[in-house]
Structure 1
Amino acid sequence: MSVFTRSRKSALAGVVALAGASALVLAGCAGGGTGGETSAPPTEERDLTLKIGTILPQTGSLSFLGPPEEAGVGLAAQHVNDYADTTGLTMDDIVWGDSGDTENKAYATTIQTLISEGVTAAIGAASSGVTKLFLDDAVAAGIIVFSPANTSLDFTTWDDDGLYWRTAPSDKLQGEVLGNLVAEDGHENVAVLYLNDSYGTGLNDVFQETFTGAGGTIVEEQSYNTGDTSFDAQVSALLASNPDAIVLITFDEIFTIGPALLQAGYPAENLYFVDGNLKNFGADDKWPADLSLEGAKGTTPAGPSTPEDFQAELNEWWTGEGNSELTDFSYANESYDAVILLALASLAANSTEAADVAGKLVEVSGGTGDGEKCDSYEACADIILAGNVADYDGYSGPITFDEVGDPTEATVGVFQYQDDNSFVRIDI
């Protein structure tokens, strides 16, 4: 099998603020030549079966992200298959798998299953920390790992043989949005509680650099480890520092930490959440119904707002599989786009070999700058079948991969909690 490689030298470039702290778009130059020649594949009839699997959180501390992510994957595969008579490419029999988290280690079984099933690509994981624990095994097996939600800065320089990709931007972007948001809200003395793993430390570092660069002061910094269940000491230290805002960089530990802060009298409107814990608490019976988060804010690399018709399609597919309706669409856009990009890359390469597919991902995302814009699988596929180059802009935005598999154009959304403990987007 041919080997596709790329250098790990490009960095995030050209961050531009939009609407104050509410959103950032990251624009940069894509690496040239990463995907090889941009000439179209032969136009003879294709017969391609692209086999993918998922390694997404059905259990563990990020299990709330699993349903929208799996719905995005499933709906995208349906759209690919709906056009199979025209393209000759099908995506049948998805191998669904649980990533779990670093505690229950479900990923260890799932990645071996995906390898044995011979998938071209694995969609996942949601957690950067989990992906790091199986990525080398996947790369050694020649499988593309395509995450819709990984944000750790470490992946930009990972030695992955060109097989790691993500539709979520790195935490450099979210950290800057969060830091500017807290500063522009008028806060000056801020305390931070963060998860002591690659996700938490990376996001915390960028947030603090941005916030202090804007003139703010970090009056207290507390951390905890995966698996911890008691946070009394950290909460006490945060409150003792008398901060005018508290930033919480956590996963599901928020169900203990958040109520403890509110029960101690800390005002909800001065709390800030991130993608790891921004969820619809009003629909979750684990959150005390008498504790209001009204006014609290949070950030997440959400891309543009999920259109209502797309939400309806996601729900139709998801409920059609026997599930309850989705109440949260976090990373559904990114999951959908990951699958569509894989299918388009397979069409462009006229192959389902992982190295060949990976070799066309920059091109079909618009990273070479040579493509014709299109915003659906059908439209992009038609361009490719006509012998031309497609540039897909999806539900998560323009994407535009650089040579290391990072999106160079992305949006971080800002959300605010309402009186029913659900959140609404406020930046657009």
Structure 2
Amino acid sequence: MSGRHLMSGAVVAAVSVMTLAACSSSDSGSSGESSGAPSESVSIESTPAPAGLGLAQKLNCPTVEKATPGPVSTAALKVGTLLPATGSLAFLGPPEFAGVKLAVKDINDNGGVLGKPVEEVTGDSGDTTTDTANATVDREIGAGTQVIIGAASSSVSLKVIDKVATAGVVMFSPANTSDQFTCYRDKGQYFRTAPADTLQGQALAQTMAADGVQRVSVLALNDPYGTGLATEAITNLEAAGIPADQIQKIIYDPNAQSFNAEVDQVKNFNPDGIAVIGFDESAKIITRMHEVGIGPTDGKSVYGVDGNMGNALGKAVGAGVLKGMKGTTPLTNTGAEFEQRLKSVDPSLIDFNYGGESYDATVISALAAAQAKSTNGRSIAAQINSVTSGGEKCTSYKACLDLVNQGRDIDYDGVTGTLDFNEAGEPSIGSYGILEFDGSNKLLSPVRKYVSVAGK
């Protein structure tokens, strides 16, 4: 269980940077060496939402849909994956696939679900340039999966969410962060273990403001993730005191052959801080920035986000190009032991982002089925929020299953820490790491950690 703290009373009650001494990579959940940098403590607060409002009112949702249990089924639980083996987020795929595979192993080693082993049905999500996700969903629904873990990309999830929900299958993303999902009409079948970008926008803006940037360019890919996070970051930059006319926003096509025009716009604006909100195309953008003298090693403060802050980015650009680049990512202290367990199912892992979130999504789904005493997808969905909050604390599938079998209410705290899902089926707590690349284009351990909280 990570050292995150629960605070309440607002849709986004606070973003705080907790003191975190320079850790080893085993403490951070990311690859790299200890940075040796000093720890800091900074905090900002936003205006609390009015007391006494339900989640739907606080978020201006018409309503938050809830799942209706379906007929009881004792068939074996089948968990499908809709994760990126190919496409622009393929670098995130390995730890996510490993998280699901490890969870299925742990579940089956401890009795399975309703006395039967869980079956894993592996599938690729691709990206928005292909129809891979639709083909995978059709195949997995046809195979009788009751739970689909994925997608990683918010845009890919939006392409298939209606099909999955209508089929009565649970769709459980370990990495979607777009704000669109909080109020989405998903029949109560959609869940995620990653926090919404309303929180990451604050974390990114506060990181930049704390570094003293005064003139900012924001480059963001044109999809719900990119545009949503850009909007949140700019809103919070303005709230931190940076005038609107000192902020440039550029939305780009991630499938473009060249980003020269966009980078030239940034150079002409002459910012002291540049945020790149993108996926694997970020390597081309940052390479071009370096070529025209506005990269991380050229006196500019350059920032990334969870879509690009991985060691895979360092392998895709020239030697030393990323030195000093910082970025935010949802980050929890999964620890060295869990990372080694992930490597036991995939020894080639170099990043661990969202491995814990994938593991927890799978375990939560299995516990919800056990609590429902049914593997019907709608029945599982009806129990998911319940098994993450309000009951007796437990931190492993075995411990939680023992309590469920005794008829006791459980509160699963997973490898990513306290979850406490709200009515919308997403964490009420978001934890963020501030990562930085060294001169070898490798991520240092985070020296600061945000703990962001959304009201229930």
TM over 0.5: yes
Aligned to 2:24: none
What is aligned with 2:421?
Answer: 401
What do the CA deviations read for 1:6-60 (whole angstroms, capped 9, x no partner)? xxxx993433423256999x999889996899xxxxxxxx966211100100000
Q: What is the deviation of 1:90?
A: 2.1
The equivalent residue for 2:345 is 317
Q: Deviations over 1:125-156 (max 9, x none)?
A: 00000100011111111111000000011111
CA 1:406–1:12: 2 relative to 1, 3 Å: farther
| Matched ranges for 1:18-33 at <5 A | 18-19=17-18, 20=41
Provide, for residues 91-149 of structure 1, a one-character-per-residue CA deviation record: whole Å limited to 9, x for no partner: 12x11111000002211210111111111011000000010001111111111100000
8 Å Cα contact 1:71/1:332 also seen in 2: yes
In structure 2, what residue type is equivalent to 1:272? Y
Aligned to 1:277: 308
Alpha carbons of structure 1 residues 190 and 30: separation in structure 2 relative to 1, 3 Å: closer
Calculate percent identity across the aligned residue pairs: 39
Higher mean displacement: 293-302 or 333-342: 293-302
- Which residue number corresponds to residue 129 of structure 2? 103
AA of the residue aligned to 1:109? A
**Is the Cα contact below 8 Å between 1:22 and 1:412 reproduced in 2?**
no
Question: Which position in structure 2 is the counterpart of 1:299?
Answer: 328
Matched, 1:427 2:451: no
Pairs aligned (count): 399
In the alignment, structure 1 segments of 5+ residues that lack a partner are: 1-9, 38-45, 320-324
1:334 counterpart residue number: 357
Secondary structure at 1:398's aligned position in 2? coil
CA contact (8 A) 1:398 1:410 kept: no
The alpha carbon displacement at 1:402 in A equals 1.1
User: How well do the aligned residues superpose, as a CA RMSD in angstroms?
Assistant: 2.7
Question: Counterpart of 1:41?
Answer: none
Please state whether the residue corresponding to 2:80 is helix, strand or coil.
Answer: strand
* 1:12/1:242 CA distance change after superposition, 3 Å: same
CA contact (8 A) 2:216 2:274 kept: yes
Residues 378-400 of structure 1, C-alpha deviations (whole Å, 9 max, x = no match): 11111111110110111222111
233-242 or 79-88: which moved more? 79-88
SS in 2 for 1:336: helix
The residue aligned with 1:412 is 432
Cα deviation digits, residues 209-243 of structure 1 (max 9, x gap):
00111111443221112421211111011011111
Structure 1 pair 132/36, CA: closer, same or farther in 2 (3 Å)? closer
Equivalent residue number for residue 76 of structure 1: 103
Unaligned runs of 5+ in 2: 1-8, 19-40, 57-63, 450-456
Say if 1:29 and 1:402, in contact at 8 Å, map to a contact too: no
2: distance between equivalents of 1:124 and 1:151? 12
Alpha-carbon distance in structure 2 between the residues aligned to 1:393 and 1:30: 22
Matched, 1:50 2:77: yes
Aligned mates of 1:294, 1:248 — CA distance in 2: 15
- Counterpart AA for 2:13: G
Letter in 1 for 2:218: V
Partner of 2:260: 232
Aligned partner of 2:402: which letter?
D
Partner AA of 1:393 in structure 2: D
The whole-number CA distance in structure 2 between the counterparts of 1:360 and 1:166 is 14
Give me the TM-score of the superposition, normalised by structure 1: 0.87
1:219 aligned to 218, 238, 247, which one?
247
Q: Contact 1:30–1:401 (CA<8 Å) still a contact in 2?
A: no
In structure 1, distance between residues paired with 2:132 and 2:397: 32
Which residue in the other structure is 1:135 paired with?
A: 161
Aligned residue for 1:59?
A: 86
Aligned residue in 2 for 1:241: 269
Equivalent position of 2:317 in the other structure: 287
Q: Do the aligned partners of 2:360 and 2:416 also contact (CA within 8 Å) in 1?
A: yes
Matched with 1:261 is: 289
Confirm whether residue 372 of structure 1 aligns to residue 392 of structure 2: yes
Query: Are the aligned partners of 2:155 and 2:225 in contact in 1 as well (CA < 8 Å)?
Result: yes
Judging changes above 3 Å, is the alpha-carbon distance between structure 1 residues 232 and 405 closer, same or farther for their aligned structure 2 residues?
Answer: same
